[in-house]
Amino acid sequence: MSSNVKKTLMVALGVCLVASVLVSTAAVELKPIQTKNKKLDMLKNILSAGDLLKEKSNIEDIYKENIEPEIIDLKTGEVIPKDKYDEVVNTNDFDVKSVASSDKWGEAIPADKDIAGIKRMPKVMIVYQVLDKDKNVVKYIFPIYGKGLWSTMYGFISLAKDLSTVEGFTFYDQGETPGLGGEVDNPRWKKLWIGKEVFDPSGKLKIQVIKRKVDPSAPDAKYKVDGLSGATLTTNGVNHLVRFWMSDEGFGLFLKKLRGEKNEKV
């Protein structure tokens, strides 16, 4: 090997080493910023679902002033005491994916009950209580997720104090087809959810995303939401995930407890 070739290789190796060090350093230094931005984005979506976002206002301040989170046991509907919190389950950085994959806090879902297509779910879930200025709960925000056509869709649904009327609906993480299933993130479609009823007066789960437009004159129109045009599988996915998380497999027992109903799985 000639000396010129050796010199070229040494220069190339040196450049690669320097570039590697710079990339590694940048990754380490940027990680705290990325983590903070990810948390802020999550808070923004929670506030959006609760109709609490205000222009030119500090997201963290709005959250602290209006939101009181708590963690519940999905099998009992009971609130988890803070002395049970750990590095995975707590109200500061609750992450659905991490909790669901945890050996301690997550579990597999029997195939016949897994209508949301998620395979695993948390045993406990965070619930965001929206408070008024007197610290009374005026609505609840629930994390929801399930399989669409191409992706697992993660979002929030907000219910009024009556525990049935939808006051907000949003997805913060989804990879559906732009212009089709990706319309789950379209503000116009999300607005269709507002005012819909999840349960009938007896507490029976009724909400449904249909494959066509809802006939506003139909007696059950308040329980139905327009499907996404040209995106049948995504529409089905949204329907299934919402019904799963609002059922006794999800937040149903917690909702029954709040209503004072007999708290048993059927």
Map tokens 């959810």 to a residue. Answer: 193
Task: Confirm whether 67 is domain-assigned.
Answer: yes
Task: Confirm whether 185 is domain-assigned.
Answer: yes
Task: Confirm whether 184 is domain-assigned.
Answer: yes
Domain carrying residue 169: 49-259
The count of domains in the chain is: 1
SS3 state at 85: coil
pLDDT, residue 78, reads: 96
Q: Which helix (H) or strand (E) holds 86?
A: none
Cβ-based neighbours of 98, under 8 Å, separated by 6 or more? 88
Task: Confirm whether 14 is domain-assigned.
Answer: no
- What is d(CA 30, CA 260) in angstroms, rounded to the nearest whole number? 48
pTM: 0.85
Contact 169, 155 (CB under 8 A): yes
Beta bridge partners, 205, equal 199
Helices (H), 78-121: 96-101
pLDDT, residue 150, reads: 95
Task: Confirm whether 74 is domain-assigned.
Answer: yes
pLDDT, residue 28, reads: 60
Blockwise average pLDDT, block size 10, the chain, 266 residues: 67 72 61 67 91 84 95 97 96 95 97 96 98 94 96 97 96 92 94 97 96 94 95 96 97 95 51
From the list 165, 149, 162, 173, the residue with the least C-alpha distance to 239 is: 149
CA pseudo-torsion sign 8, 13, 14, 18:
positive
Task: Confirm whether 151 is domain-assigned.
Answer: yes
Mutual angle of helices 59-66 and 3-49, in 10-degree steps: 40
Task: Confirm whether 28 is domain-assigned.
Answer: no
> To 5 degrees, how large is the angle CA 66–CA 144–CA 178?
105
- What is d(CA 260, CA 197) in angstroms, rounded to the nearest whole number? 19
Task: Confirm whether 202 is domain-assigned.
Answer: yes
- What is d(CA 45, CA 59) in angstroms, rounded to the nearest whole number? 10
Q: Which helix (H) or strand (E) holds 127?
A: strand 124-131
